[in-house]
Chains A and B, each alone.
Chain A
Amino acid sequence: MLSRPIRTVAPASVFVGELFRQPWLLFIVILGPFLILLLFVVGARVYRDFPTTIIVEPAQAPGTPALQISGKELDNFLRVVDVTKDRDAALARLRRGEVKLVLELPPDPGAAVARGQQAQITISTNEIDPLANSFFTLFVESQIAELNRQVIERTAAQTRDNLGRLRADVDRAALLLDGLESGSVQEQRQRLAEASRQLADVDAALGQVQQAVRLAVGPVGSIAGTPLGELQRLRERVARLRDEASQLDAQLARAPSPEEAARMRQDVAQLQQVLAQAQTTNPTVLSAPFAATVTNVAPYVPEGTNYFLPGVLALVVQHLALTLAAVSIARDRRLGVLDLYRLSPASPVELLLGKYLGLILMVALIAAAITGLAIVALQLPVLGGLPWLASALFVFVLTALAYGFGIGLLTGSEESAIQVAMLVLIASVAFGGLLAPLEQLTKPLLAVAYLLPVTSGKVVLEAVMYRGYFVNWLAPAVLVLLLLVAFVLSFRLFGRELAQR
């Protein structure tokens, strides 16, 4: 008998008729959400730009050359729009919202470092958005870390240059010591005195370099492996050489034994070797010994706001399906069509199936059109393949429709149905993983979030489009479970509605 399918198709024909009766509506319903998606993707920025910043320099340049910071150097993580010495003017501009940050350099960083304290850089902001503040903090901390690294690198480079000059003195001392065993005692004493002078010069020069480094990087530089630590080791070696020279000089009565001369030559050779090593040390490595290389095993990493597209798509489709379904029931009740249904030979199952059929055709068509446009226009991948995408959209739309029918059947009027649909929309935006990652929700709130189709729908669409596989099966399982429960419930509610007298 064809009566049953004919009766089922009847309610579906209403939606098709009404939709194609209003082509402008069709246009708006498809193109509208797509344009919203497009504007979001093209127009929205997730703090991609560095914050605009004014640098306030101290009135006088700091005494330590290594600590002289130019405002223009702070542009690794900040967008420096102005460098000034007028603090009040900079803060006024901050209050007027012209810039996001004002960064004040310390007046005498060298003095603070000499006292064993960090030189404080003051940051001011005028932002009420906590998320923006978090990003600013991240940018500023990154910038300060970069600044510290640059200072250490610069100091290490200067130290290397200075050590290069010292090496010439050490080489001369080595030449003097080479001929130590030959010649008269008088000549030997002259050579020792000359070598000792050379070493004294080296020691003095090392002391100056050490002081400069200490001023630049503070007490932290004394740790072994850092420039100050290495300098300390060098000075200790020079001191030992000078001691040995003094002891020989005190024993003028005899010539230095071959062992003594060899030990001194060996010490000088080691000194030469250390200086040579110090000269080959890369200042960048010294300033930042660790570097990170990130390897992402995800098959595709969407650019910028493209990441949000599946979520926004799920939100748009859910709202569309849910509202249309809820309003269709409420409107039938207002028009009195439900009486027509009650008296017709069609069963509640046939009637609601017909409504599902009509709306799934309509919404799935719209969802497919929006998704297709987005995929083509934004060149997005569907790594899971089109059949998976179609299946995911179908299940998701059906779930949203079941929710919509439930809302329509539980509310009394079209106005109430629309209001509840709006509440679901707000809840979906708040808890659906669009504003905050699901991991940040407490467990009770996460449970509430997963009651909304958009939550699992977003995860499923992301997986189908951007991964090609499900990281875990929680989201698809929840979506199917929601569909089953809501689908069965909608039929029970519709049967109850038609049985109500």
Chain B
Amino acid sequence: MTLSTPDRVQSSTPDQTAAPVIELRDLRLSYAGHDVFSGLNLNVTPGQVYGLIGPSGGGKTTILRAVLGLLRPTDGEALLFGQPSAALPRAHRARVGYVPQSFTLYPNLTVGENLDFVAGLYGIGWIRRRRRIRDLLGLMDLAEHHRKLARNLSGGMQRRLQLAAALLHEPALLVVDEPTAGIDPILRARFWDEFRAIAAEGRTVVFTTQYVNEAELCDYVALVADGRVVAEGTPTALRRLAYGGDVVDISAPDLDWAAVQRLASLPLVSTVEQASPGWVRLIVEDSARATPGLIRETEEMGCHVERVATSESSFDEVFTRLVKRYA
């Protein structure tokens, strides 16, 4: 994936040379004279789990709907499989699966009937349909409930049913709006397993979430706030972007202020993030290269190093830093 605004962070995986599944060019959407979002540029390549992450009301769903062509942009272009999403040919529409934020199937039909209906919309024949529905009901743990009316399902079950409906035709691109909102951690983990499995097959998953920490599970993340993409990249790249490099924590009981200053002056160290007697957090360009030198230097100063760790700070913090920096 490539990032256009405001920072560009390159990633090594997956295949960046493949034609993008989603491409947004200077996309702008205005409503009643107010820009909901503007200057939006995104590329999503195949095989990614791509997250649009940000607080509620930040414009994630609106961007997603513009991507799918469900909203007509004021300016710019939204392409799906290289085609304008608002006029997507039938063959390409058949390659997209969409799970909206709310339940959009028929409450008075059973689980099985709803899946049957969606399968019909995608022209899936009855024999293949039976097999797909059976497999997906098993996968989503809904097999026992297939005769239950959708309106009688719990919220979590309805989310699973909606996801199953979106997966029926084995889409190349699965777009999911807030898949994990309001569901329990076990089910959330299952969803993630499914997303990873889809990506492993070379298909693409784009989703929105307000749980910032779910960025960890994505291949690529776009942090969205106030209708803008604040930052975009792999989780690691975003963390580096937030802190200006890798974070290395050193715990040494004898570490004093003079020793901290000496460590800070080393060429591989960018800055001292935090320090207290016996502990320091350093920002380095490359933790793998810098860590052995930092241990050696600390020991040479007569400080016994008890623990060295590359910090995996929470994405809440990463997100906060990036928003403060770029918003």
A interface residues with partner B (beta carbon < 8 Å)? 2-4, 6-7, 9-11, 13-14, 17-18, 21-22, 335-337, 339-347, 501
Contact = CB atoms under 8 A, between A and B. Distances in A.
Given A7-B120, A22-B108, 7 more contacts: A6-B120, A7-B121, A9-B120, A10-B118, A339-B100, A343-B68, A344-B121
B123 interface: yes
A17 B113 contact: yes
B125 A6 contact: yes
Interface size on B, as a range, is: 20 to 34
B257 interface: no
A361 to B, nearest CB: 15
A329 B141 CA distance: 32
A336 B104 CA distance: 5
A335 B100 CA distance: 11
Chain A interface main SS type: helix
4 A-B pairs with the lowest CB-CB distances in the bound complex, closest first: A10-B120, A3-B123, A336-B104, A501-B72
B217 interface: no
Contacts of A343: 68, 70, 93, 96, 98
A346 B109 CA distance: 20
B94 interface: yes
A275 B149 CA distance: 97
Interface string B80-124: 000000100011011010101011111111100100111111111
B109 A21 contact: yes
A10 B94 CA distance: 15
Nearest to B94: A345
Contacts of A336: 100, 102, 104
Contact of B121 (A18, A335, A341): A341
Contacts of B106: 14, 17-18, 335, 337
A2 B104 contact: no
B108 A18 contact: yes
A10 B124 CA distance: 10
A369 B5 CA distance: 65
12 contacts: A7-B123, A9-B120, A13-B113, A13-B116, A17-B108, A21-B110, A335-B103, A340-B104, A343-B96, A345-B94, A345-B121, A346-B123
Contact of A337 (B68, B96, B105, B123): B105
A340 B121 contact: yes
A340 B118 contact: yes
A2 B125 CA distance: 8
Given A18-B108, A21-B108, A344-B93, A4 B113 contact: no
B69 interface: yes
Contact of A347 (B68, B71, B90, B98): B90
Contacts of A337: 104-106
Contact of A501 (B86, B100, B105): B86
Q: Which of A18, A21, A336, A340 has the most CB of B within 10 A?
A: A340
Nearest to B126: A6
Contacts of A9: 120
B121 A339 contact: no
A344 B70 contact: no
Nearest to B97: A343
Contact of B122 (A2, A14, A345): A345
Interface string B122-133: 111100000000
A10 B116 CA distance: 8
Q: Which of A22, A336, A343 has the most CB of B within 10 A?
A: A343
